[in-house]
Amino acid sequence: METVNIKINGIPLTVPKGSTILEAAKQAHIDIPTLCYLKDINEIGACRICVVEVKGAKSLVASCMYPVAEGMEIKTNTPKVLASRKHTLELILSDHDKKCLTCERSGKCELQKLCNDLKVEDDRLFEGERTHYEVDNTSAHMYRDNNKCIVCRRCAAVCDKIQGIGVIGANNRGFTTTIGCAFEMGLGETSCVSCGQCIAVCPTGALSEKDDTDKVFAAINDPDKYVIVQTAPAVRAALGEEFGFPIGTNVQGKMVAALRRLGFDKVFDTDFAADLTIMEEAYELIDRIKNGGTLPLITSCSPGWIKYCEHYYPDMLDNLSTCKSPQQMFGAVTKTYYAQKMGLDPEKIVMVSVMPCTAKKFEIGRPDENAAGVPDVDISITTRELARMIEQVGLNFTSLPDENFDDPLGRSTGAAVIFGATGGVMEAALRTAVEVLTGEKLNNLDFTAVRGTQGIKEATYNAAGLDIKVAVASGLGNARKLLDDVKSGKSEYHFIEIMGCPGGCVNGGGQPRQPASVRNFTDIKALRAHALYKQDAAMSVRKSHENEAIKQLYDEFLGAPNSHKAHEILHTTYVKRTVNQVL
């Protein structure tokens, strides 16, 4: 690798040729602040917060864009640099809603932190014209408050470049520039798929999920309601970040303890329904392969992906598995099977899900998601919302004991745990499908070819003399590439897993936000996924079809995978939508 020799703040440094000053400074353990920059996503040098001095340059340069060169001498913290950054922040704040005490991002806002670090004072702010915007609440899963937007364009970049959707972008010019939809439509009037990746990258409180925690507290405190909570596998791998744990720490035990102390009547694991999903999906795959069904079969666990398919690939809806997502399957089983066993009225059960995904808020309102005649799931909250609930009631999360999920809907396998990582659903399904097809026990349960955070992965596995060709895509931009290859005949598969968010659910739009200073230099999704694979490897039961609670469910209630009764309760239908049709 070719290198160059430079100096940063007088310290000699050898760095790879082609590095930016920002990257070189990181190697020297110097964090240059940014607001707009996201590596490989939004490299536009627009905010001017990252400016530095370069010897010989006529003006300050944006370190996120400026490449290093042999002999370059850089200063990152001179009075001129610090004054420029502070001046820029004052200009940003001059047209910014500064109601920080009531802002959802207070204490975790990148703009707020920079202002504190640089000692920006209110009485020095520029006075002049102010803009005012109505908050956009048209979407089921989030709001957009342009009064707090700093027009960094991170949201627009991730929507366009990573997700390939592009329903938001910069409107107007100059002082009146805003981030919005075409023709000033509300977000809910567009073909937004509710993935929430825009929320995850926003540095301020301009974008956030709709907070449903008050609904949850109201249900818990209603003596006529029986309130059950289920938690997705990816939540346990990220929730700890909200309380100071390192990225990738599995806090399952403390999470269960917190939920129990919040007052839920039962604390169950969505992983139970992930195992159930595999039973239905694996047998659906086998049936399609053996009986000439529509192939490739494509997974249906990710509601962001499902809505994307409905909008952009409606001609491929027959390829989708008809299985409900694990969230919805869990609600359906709770309000039918569990309600019957426990003598509960389904109308008095409040099913709450804790998800890494903002699209789950949209999914709970979809048609054909009401197996018991009432919604399968009543309220879906994000990992962030759960953290706020824990903080609101004063629980000391770090000191909570480790507790176990309730039985029987808290029992699951390692196959279910890895649902939260890209490739996890595929691997879990293969563990069951291969054993069913061959009638033999697998010696090696690790299908490593479908693991990893790459956007697209392919593999071929032989089972009972049949070569099963599979593919995995995460992030909707990658899904588009994969599906276009399938439609053109360039690629042929039996089974495809698609997750709406890059890296899968561990990187969902409802997960704890990490600032750009972390996102740009840390593979967050890989660290969170590692926590799930580690848990899988340590579990005694790692195949969905060996979950005793699942076997009992089929024996007592469903009959068999893909039975008529299973289809009535666990399967769903889809809607062909135009690009701008949302209902």
Query: What tens digit of pLDDT does each residue of 520-561 get?
Result: 999 999 999 999 999 999 999 999 999 999 999 999 999 999
Would you say how long the chain is, in residues? 583
Cα angle, residue 235 at apex, residues 230 and 241 outer, rounded to 5°: 140
Only one residue has tokens 């342009």, namely 146
Q: Please give the average per-residue pLDDT across 59-84, as a whole number.
A: 97
CA 511, 402, 413, 378 dihedral sign is: negative
Domains of the chain: 3-77 (3.10.20.740), 102-210 (3.30.70.20), 214-570 (3.40.50.1780)
Using DSSP, state whether 61 is helix, strand or coil: strand
Query: Mean pLDDT lowest for which of 233-237, 300-304, 315-319, 443-447?
Result: 443-447
Q: Is the pLDDT of residue 512 over 80?
A: yes
Rounded to the nearest 5°, which phi and psi values hold at 546? Answer: -105, 5
Share of the chain above pLDDT 70, in %: 99
End-to-end CA distance of the chain: 53
Identify the pLDDT of residue 123: 63
Identify the pLDDT of residue 582: 46
CA atoms within 13 A on the CB side of 377: 28
Question: One-letter amino acid identity for 448?
Answer: T
pLDDT digits (tens, 9 = 90+) for 559-583: 999 999 999 999 999 999 987 654 4
What tokens does 287 get?
A: 């049936």
Share of the chain above pLDDT 90, in %: 95
Residue 2: partners with Cβ closer than 8 Å, 6 or more residues away: 16, 17
- Provide the whole-model pTM: 0.96
Between CA 129 and CA 146 the distance in angstroms is 16
pLDDT digits (tens, 9 = 90+) for 372-427: 999 999 999 999 999 999 999 999 999 999 999 999 999 999 999 999 999 999 99
CB burial of 3-26 (b: ≥16 within 10 Å; e: otherwise) equals ebebebeeeebebeeebbbbbbbb
Between CA 415 and CA 428 the distance in angstroms is 5
> Helix 424-438 and helix 270-291: axis angle, to 10°?
50
pLDDT digits (tens, 9 = 90+) for 332-380: 999 999 999 999 999 999 999 999 999 999 999 999 999 999 999 999 9
pLDDT digits (tens, 9 = 90+) for 186-232: 999 999 999 999 999 999 999 999 999 999 999 999 999 999 999 99
What tokens does 559 get?
A: 């009959």
> Helix 383-392 and helix 252-262: axis angle, to 10°?
60
Identify whether 67 is preceded by a cis peptide bond (ω within 30 of 0).
Answer: no
The residues facing 230 across adjacent strands are 268, 353
Please tell me what DSSP assigns to residue 513: P
pLDDT digits (tens, 9 = 90+) for 74-113: 999 999 999 999 999 999 999 999 999 999 999 999 999 9
CB burial of 419-436 (b: ≥16 within 10 Å; e: otherwise) equals bbbbbbbbbbbbbbbbbb
Between CA 111 and CA 57 the distance in angstroms is 28
Q: What is the mean pLDDT of the chain?
A: 96
What tokens does 15 get?
A: 């760095």
> Exposed (0-12), middle (13-18) or buried (19+): which is 467, by Cβ within 10 Å?
exposed
The residues facing 142 across adjacent strands are 209
Q: Is the pLDDT of residue 466 over 70?
A: yes
Identify the pLDDT of residue 398: 98
Strands 51-54 and 73-75: antiparallel
Identify the pLDDT of residue 580: 63
Q: Is the pLDDT of residue 56 over 70?
A: yes
The residues facing 15 across adjacent strands are 4
Between CA 446 and CA 443 the distance in angstroms is 9
pLDDT digits (tens, 9 = 90+) for 106-151: 999 999 999 999 999 876 677 788 899 999 999 999 999 999 999 9
Question: One-letter amino acid identity for 200?
Answer: A
pLDDT band at 464 (very low <50, low <70, confident <90, very high): confident
Residue 539: partners with Cβ closer than 8 Å, 6 or more residues away: 413, 414, 417
Strands 207-209 and 379-382: unpaired
Between CA 16 and CA 11 the distance in angstroms is 16
Please tell me what DSSP assigns to residue 334: I
